[in-house]
């Protein structure tokens, strides 16, 4: 095993090798046969969905499909992602910290880099075990070089967009169509959420019935630009704020897509043999329509509103229904936990930073989370802004209103809304935790750099633009080009 920088070890159980007895499913009029011994895995991501943007957390946004999954499964009440999308997705796919991979910032449309090619990704583990592996929706782990694209990173099939945002109807980013199927640009009409759902359902219905499925459904909703079908927006006429109204419609359209996906799984006889996970990639921005509930902070912040996100797991055959898991569960834990649930061997090429939480979820085994970090690069010098968790403490390195770096300390269990900064009262704890963070080996930060204005012009349709860039797309496709080399 190749030794690379990684976080201090967190408690984990060794993954066990399960026998992968694979059988086909029955068709109409045929005798039923035994389903796969290993579960199908469906992993669903929302994009910029706040903690307070789902019904089961008290939102006015209607999310009946997500709420039903939560009622039938386990709510991960203290699930932590990263403050920004690419770091979360990199940690999700690798089981390794952003400090270990160097992915601490989003992969912007002009960047040639991506998630390092020497990292082993989640679909590779499942494909090695006999799964068919599908990815649908947003990628955002390396947009411009084909070596970083999903079909080169373990997925048998990819449909969706490579960048971090797009016009949801024109499917464009920076005036180029970013919509593809397995490397070829697809020019088609339709709302991105609807198209993502339809492709996921089609893959389920036309799968190889002799293999279990790993399906990654990464919605681009409710990320800006804020766009939704007019009839969906009209359903929220009671919300006065237009930004919130469109955001709510985007969330509900995604929820309807999840409901349709559930129906397809049920009709195919897969629902009870499927471990389904839902999560958001980071907190939302209230100025862009989101609501993080009572949590402090927002997307890009290491405070709770930026990193504590809605998440759940559903598999009634193995998990309790209507339960809440209130231990800290970080995004790096997802890979080892899903492998453990499927009874598959964990054979990483680099040390994992995540823990196998499955015994605690399925068997109520004792679980004590170890130290964990949620970090991003930010500021003029790309300084680390982070949250460091250790036992009862959470240390936050942030910028104050003047732009100065500060260290804040919270007893996060008793103060989940981060109202009482204890840094002055406990300087010893601040020093201990900050020293521990500094001692963690850190890979070189990837993806730092500003947009080259000469190449990309103004910032219409940028990642924080509420309104879409409706400029007609150029005839140069995004997906097929090594973008910088295209005149």
Of 412, 409, 385, 380, the C-alpha closest to 399 is: 385
CA dist 223 to 230, 283, 288, 362, 383, Å?
17, 11, 9, 33, 25
- CA-based radius of gyration for the chain: 21
Cis peptide preceding 222, ω within 30 of 0:
yes
Give the separation between CA 284 and CA 84, rounded to whole angstroms: 10
Residues 259 and 243: their CA atoms lie apart, in Å, by 25
Separation of alpha carbons 246 and 243, rounded Å: 5
DSSP for 11-35, written as a single string: ------PPP----PPP-TTSPP-PP
At residue 134, what are phi and psi to the nearest 5 degrees? -125, 140
Q: Strands 157-161 and 274-280: what pairing? A: unpaired
Query: For residues 142-154, b (16+ Cβ closer than 10 Å) or e, as one string?
Result: bbbbeebbbbebb
Q: At what angle do helices 85-94 and 334-341 cross, to 10 degrees?
A: 40
The pair phi, psi for residue 20, each rounded to 5°, is -100, 80
**Catalytic site includes residue 28:** no
Please compute, for residue 431, the number of CA atoms within 13 A of its CA located in the half-sphere on the CB side: 5
The one catalytic residue among 85, 171, 223, 303: 85
Residue 153, C-beta contacts closer than 8 angstroms, at least 6 positions apart? 93, 115, 121, 123, 124, 141
SS3 65: helix
Name the residue among 320, 307, 329, 466 with its Cα closest to residue 396: 307
Among the options 6, 26, 28, 140, which is catalytic?
140
Please report how many Cα atoms fall inside a 13 Å half-sphere around the Cα of residue 478, on the Cβ side. Answer: 30
Please enumerate in sequence order all residues whose Cβ is within 8 A of that of 415, keeping only pairs 6 or more positions apart, or say none. Answer: none
Do 261 and 278 form a contact (C-beta atoms < 8 A)? no
Chain mean position to CA 203: 21
Active site (catalytic) residues = 85, 140
């Amino acid at each position: 095993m190749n030794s690379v920088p990684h976080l201090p070890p967190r408690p984990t159980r060794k993954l066990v090798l399960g026998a992968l007895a694979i059988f086909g499913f029955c068709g109409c009029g045929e005798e039923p046969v035994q389903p796969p011994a290993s579960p199908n895995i469906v992993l669903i991501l929302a994009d910029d969905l706040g903690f307070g943007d789902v019904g089961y957390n008290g939102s006015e946004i209607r999310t009946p499909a997500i709420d039903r999954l939560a009622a039938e499964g386990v709510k991960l009440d203290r699930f932590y992602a990263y403050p920004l999308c690419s770091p979360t997705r990199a940690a999700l796919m690798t089981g390794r910290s952003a400090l270990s991979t160097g992915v601490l910032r989003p992969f912007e449309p002009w960047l040639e880099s991506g998630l390092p090619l020497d990292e082993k990704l989640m679909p590779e583990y499942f494909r090695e075990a006999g799964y068919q592996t599908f990815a649908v929706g947003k990628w955002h782990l390396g947009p411009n070089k084909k070596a970083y694209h999903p079909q080169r990173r373990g997925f048998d099939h990819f449909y969706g967009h490579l960048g971090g945002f797009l016009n949801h109807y024109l499917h464009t980013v920076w005036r180029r169509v970013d919509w593809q199927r397995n490397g070829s640009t697809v020019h088609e009409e339709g709302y991105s959420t609807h198209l993502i759902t339809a492709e996921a359902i089609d893959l389920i219905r036309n799968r190889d019935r002799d293999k279990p499925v790993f399906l990654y459904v990464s919605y681009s909703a409710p990320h800006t630009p804020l766009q939704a079908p007019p009839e969906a927006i009209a359903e929220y006429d009671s919300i006065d704020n237009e930004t919130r109204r469109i955001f709510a419609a985007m969330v509900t359209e995604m929820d309807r897509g999840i409901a349709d996906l559930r129906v397809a799984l049920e009709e195919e006889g897969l629902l009870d043999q499927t471990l389904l996970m839902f999560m958001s990639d980071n907190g939302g921005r209230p100025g862009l329509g989101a609501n993080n509930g009572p949590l402090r902070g927002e997307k890009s912040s290491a405070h709770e509103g930026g990193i504590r996100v809605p998440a759940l797991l559903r598999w009634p055959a193995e998990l309790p229904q209507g339960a809440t898991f209130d231990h800290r569960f970080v995004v790096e834990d997802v890979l080892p936990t899903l492998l453990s649930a499927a009874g598959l061997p964990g054979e990483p090429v680099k040390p994992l930073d995540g823990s196998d939480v499955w015994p605690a979820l399925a068997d109520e085994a004792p679980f004590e989370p170890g130290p964990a970090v949620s970090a991003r690069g930010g500021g003029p010098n790309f300084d680390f802004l982070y949250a460091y968790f250790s036992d009862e403490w959470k240390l936050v390195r942030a910028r104050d209103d003047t732009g100065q770096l500060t260290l804040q300390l919270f007893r996060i269990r008793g103060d989940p809304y981060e109202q009482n900064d204890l840094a002055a009262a406990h300087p010893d704890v601040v020093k201990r935790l900050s020293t521990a963070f500094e001692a963690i080996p850190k890979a070189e930060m990837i993806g730092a750099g500003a947009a080259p204005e000469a190449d990309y012009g103004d910032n219409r349709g940028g990642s924080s633009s509420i309104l879409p860039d409706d400029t007609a797309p150029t005839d140069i496709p995004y997906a097929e080009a090594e973008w910088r080399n295209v005149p």
